[in-house]
Structure 1
Amino acid sequence: MKPLVNDIRDGQWSSDVWKVVAVAAIGSFMAQLDATIVNVSLTTLAHELRTSLNTIQWTMSGYLLALALTLPLSGWLVDRFGTRAVYLACFVAFTLSSALCGLAWSGESLIVFRILQGMSGGLLTPMAQLVVARVAGERLPQLAGIMTMPVLLAPLFGPAIAGVLLHVASWRWLFWLNLPVGGLAVVMAMLFLREESDRQAPRSLDLRGLGLVSVASVLFLLGLDHVAAMGGLAALLAAMTSAVSYWLWARRQGERALIDLRLLKVPPFRIALGGLFLMNGVSFAGQMLVPVYFIRDCGMSPERAGLFMMPLALGMMCVFPLMGRLTAYFGIRRLASFGAIAALSGTLLLVVMARNGFSFWMSSVGLLLRGAGIGAVGIPAMSAGYRSIAKPDLPMATTASNIVQRLGGPVITTLCAILLGWQLGTQKSTTDALTAAFAFLCAFHLLLFFVAMRLPATLPKEEN
């Protein structure tokens, strides 16, 4: 799929380019939408499927975990089967797994189907970026800006769409909504995407490394979820064993490993990874806790709860277009630190609100601060990390960064859900349990601030 350089006339993109962008935008939007659409429905799903909140949150954590662990497969699959074939397969698999989610008969079956959905969804976003990069040529920055819109709009509309669907229809339509959209996307991809003529020789994939990281991540989360039982402790021990095995394996493999451990010797990159892990974690953990508070403690309908979540995404949308100017003015460290403090302040407002009762203004300001603050941390941290890495190592650094960042979501979300479930299980009131959960989330925000303070003051000198 060569750049469509001849399809740019008088500075305007031709219809062929816009068709490819439309297909890619649908893929990014579907994957991001389904990462957030379940947030306001956890209470409803737990009730309808007769399971606990601690169990049903795995529909969110499992999806996010699958997103992270399938990411390294994208380049390997493209080299072997081509961009068009892989993207089509992703759309078909995502649509079919969405249909299965809507047919789930228990909490456990829904978790399994959500993991399958996350596996295909994990490939949709990098594949969307790839198809756009291959047709854009030198005009990639302009199209990249357009491609960020689905990522920004999905968290804004996801909770609201979920709330409306739960009000007018069954929870199953949260997933069946993907069927017509996915069908349209498959048709558009078949019509508009071209077969590439410059296929590369297949690259190697560290399958053993991927297996060890996957096993360690899954067992770690399962062990945390059942830490009070003997099986939970055994899972944590097995996770530790898998992690050590990967460390030994990666040291032998060097640059051929799934995550090249030598990159961690670069301080700015190592610190940036920690910041991205925490940033993604506090973001998704908050998106799990806030709707639970609105619905269970405030008695809101899912529809109203989804609308009250909108300031979170609005905060991100306000900050992202200004990131270039803000970074140039404040520098990396100060901007990321200000963002971490803003997000912490917003979460502290949620703690006060959970203790003293709902306030529309406190909720709106708190979520707006969270969204803007989290948005102000990610881009500076990512920029500092990538700038400190030599250019030949950037592909490996990008893969490592995306894996670590995406693992933050399920890890911190699971930890907060475990605490909330434990608090509710000790006969404490919903108010006390949610106050404790929000306070626990504040601890991760504080840790994020300390990590942001260790970022470089300005962008590191570019490595050759």
Structure 2
Amino acid sequence: MSTQTTDAPASTIGAVARYGLLIGPLLSMIDSSIVNVAVPDIATELTAQLDEVQWVVSGYLLALGVSLALTAYLAKRYGVLRVYTVSMVLFVLASAACAVAPNIEFLIAFRAVQGFVGAPLVPLALSILLGKDGIGGGKVPISAALTLFLAPALGPTLGGLLIGAGGWRWIFIVNVPVGVIGLLLLLRVPTSVGALGSSSARFDPVGFVLLALGLTGALFGATEGTSEGWDSPVSWLPLGLGLALLVGYVFWALRRAHPAVDLQMMRHRNSAIALVLQVFCSVVAFGTVFLLPVFTQSVQGHSAFATGIALLPQGIVMGVATFFGQKLSVRVPLKILVVSGFAILAISSVFLITLEQDTPLWATALILSGRAIAIGLVTAPLLVAMLAPLPEDQLADGNTLFNITQRLGGSIGVSILGSVVAGGATLAATIDSFHLVGAILVAIAVVAGIVSLFLTQDRSTPVRSVSPLGE
């Protein structure tokens, strides 16, 4: 497959085009979690049962899993920027349809469409930004790192604010003007960026079926684990079958010349280790920012607005940490930087064990900010290390694989941790459950730090760097 070169230097394109490429991933990631807080309101207005409304959440995730299995092929066949643009247009239209849903069946159907067309937005935007001839000039904007971890975490809080201001339909309505702005900003993106499409790209039907069914099974099982409990066959059976199919896909893909998603990057030591570490990071990051709002609202009695304010500082801190992580990566070996990041993550997670009913929100904000420092130091360098060995025409595969593991690892991790918290029958037991979750997250961070010791600094491979948005 051929690749393209820019028709203008990255420096002359500026931040506007990058914002255009990040609005799509931002909306897609937020929408994976924003509906969670709207379930009761949707059930009331559309006169639906709660188990029906849950499919508004599950349908999105399952359709997303199927679409991720197609993303790499579509990018190779039709071109990265073209597929991204079409996905963005369809995502805005699907959001508008969800906003005017007359009944629950209509809403479930178009939420599935929304998930299907929104799945390519994250990996394809990153492919363009990371391409050596693309807008980012091989650099990862800080805003991209924030999108990967902060956007889905803020979904429930943002959803609560929108529902309080105008009702549940506003969580979809807001996507329309923001999405249109993103499409207008895409006009500043040169049509020559990203890998070109090629009629010689081959579709892998067997690999697609294995990957699509594996992802939908695993995501569905993880989703049901929180609501039904892990002792229910509805949870562990689809999760087990899904993971088995995904293992089967790995063996299939490594023996195919043109698999649905190329896994050749896993043959590179740093890429494989970085991918595993990103899964650990996803579990620790998502686990906290999804569960802490539950703690502050259900245990401490704070409002969704107050909780949202407490969550905001971590975004600023993560941006600053990513910036300094970029500066340090030039002088500090990858192994030392990542190990230090996970060490900070473990230390800051220890304070989760001290949370009590009367813990002030500013203290919670400090704990989250300490964790944001660590995630800012770890996320972008690992993403760079994972994708560094890949040529331009394999970036869509690499970013799709990254997005699959991040979403799958985050979903399963949050579901398991959520089940631990849900086991508390009394207020004291619930607080103890949150302390146990804190201990688990500390253990995960420590294990990740140990695994990080096996990273190497490969001087033979040109390493993509991380840059702030305006550079």
Q: Secondary structure of 1:299's match?
A: coil
**Distance in 2 between the 1:442 and 1:256 partners?**
40
Shift of residue 436, structure 1, vs aligned partner = 3.3
Normalising by structure 2, what TM-score? 0.77
Which one has a larger percent helix, Structure 1 or Structure 2?
1
Superposed CA offset, 1:296-315 (max 9, x none):
11111111111110122122
Give the aligned partner of residue 416 of structure 2.
Answer: 415
- Which residue of the other structure, out of 269, 272, 290, is the alignment partner of 2:271? 269
CA contact (8 A) 1:156 1:310 kept: no
Query: What is the aligned-residue identity percentage?
Result: 25
Mapping of 1:174-323 within 5 angstroms?
Answer: 174-186=171-183, 200-223=198-221, 225=225, 227-253=230-256, 255-260=257-262, 263-323=265-325
Unaligned runs of at least 5 residues, structure 1:
none
Shift of residue 71, structure 1, vs aligned partner = 4.0
Superposed CA offset, 1:383-414 (max 9, x none):
43344668997665454334323322222122
> Residue type of the partner of 2:431?
T
What do you get for the CA RMSD once the two structures are aligned? 4.3
Shift of residue 52, structure 1, vs aligned partner = 11
CA contact (8 A) 1:64 1:407 kept: no
> Residue type of the partner of 1:122?
A
Give the aligned partner of residue 466 of structure 2.
Answer: none
Closer/same/farther in 2, CA of residues 165 and 137 from structure 1, 3 Å limit: same
Closer/same/farther in 2, CA of residues 155 and 44 from structure 1, 3 Å limit: closer
Closer/same/farther in 2, CA of residues 295 and 387 from structure 1, 3 Å limit: same
Q: Secondary structure of 2:330's match?
A: helix
**Distance in 2 between the 1:247 and 1:200 partners?**
25
Superposed CA offset, 1:125-146 (max 9, x none):
3444566689x95874398548
Give the aligned partner of residue 439 of structure 2.
Answer: 439
Give the aligned partner of residue 120 of structure 1.
Answer: 117
Normalising by structure 1, what TM-score? 0.78
**Distance in 1 between the 2:54 and 2:280 partners?**
19
CA contact (8 A) 2:275 2:386 kept: yes
**Distance in 2 between the 1:436 and 1:58 partners?**
30
Mapping of 1:327-366 within 5 angstroms?
Answer: 327-353=329-355, 355=356, 357-366=358-367
Superposed CA offset, 1:65-119 (max 9, x none):
7556534534533454456653443123212332354456999987765454333
Closer/same/farther in 2, CA of residues 445 and 58 from structure 1, 3 Å limit: farther
CA contact (8 A) 1:65 1:410 kept: no
**Distance in 2 between the 1:236 and 1:382 partners?**
27
Closer/same/farther in 2, CA of residues 435 and 149 from structure 1, 3 Å limit: closer
**Distance in 1 between the 2:391 and 2:124 partners?**
24
CA contact (8 A) 1:311 1:371 kept: no
Shift of residue 373, structure 1, vs aligned partner = 0.7
Give the aligned partner of residue 93 of structure 1.
Answer: 90
**Distance in 2 between the 1:222 and 1:118 partners?**
14
CA contact (8 A) 2:6 2:134 kept: no
CA contact (8 A) 2:277 2:448 kept: yes
> Residue type of the partner of 2:440?
F
Shift of residue 445, structure 1, vs aligned partner = 2.6
Shift of residue 154, structure 1, vs aligned partner = 4.9
> Residue type of the partner of 1:243?
L
CA contact (8 A) 1:69 1:403 kept: no
> Residue type of the partner of 1:169?
G
Superposed CA offset, 1:20-67 (max 9, x none):
55533433443344356x2xx745645764899999898778756755
**Distance in 1 between the 2:345 and 2:270 partners?**
22
Closer/same/farther in 2, CA of residues 214 and 387 from structure 1, 3 Å limit: same
Closer/same/farther in 2, CA of residues 67 and 239 from structure 1, 3 Å limit: closer
**Distance in 2 between the 1:352 and 1:107 partners?**
42
Give the aligned partner of residue 137 of structure 2.
Answer: 141
Shift of residue 366, structure 1, vs aligned partner = 0.6
> Residue type of the partner of 2:245?
S
> Residue type of the partner of 1:322?
F
Superposed CA offset, 1:169-220 (max 9, x none):
213312211122234445665x667766975334123332232123223323
Q: Does 1:167 align with 2:164?
A: yes
CA contact (8 A) 2:219 2:408 kept: no
Shift of residue 356, structure 1, vs aligned partner = 5.4
Closer/same/farther in 2, CA of residues 124 and 179 from structure 1, 3 Å limit: same
CA contact (8 A) 1:221 1:414 kept: no
> Residue type of the partner of 1:447?
V
Closer/same/farther in 2, CA of residues 238 and 83 from structure 1, 3 Å limit: closer
Q: Does 1:34 align with 2:31?
A: yes
Closer/same/farther in 2, CA of residues 159 and 210 from structure 1, 3 Å limit: same
**Distance in 2 between the 1:463 and 1:205 partners?**
30
Closer/same/farther in 2, CA of residues 210 and 47 from structure 1, 3 Å limit: same
CA contact (8 A) 1:101 1:113 kept: yes
Give the aligned partner of residue 21 of structure 2.
Answer: 24
* Worse-superposed segment, 148-157 or 24-33: 148-157
Q: Secondary structure of 1:256's match?
A: coil
> Residue type of the partner of 1:350?
L
Unaligned runs of at least 5 residues, structure 2:
464-471
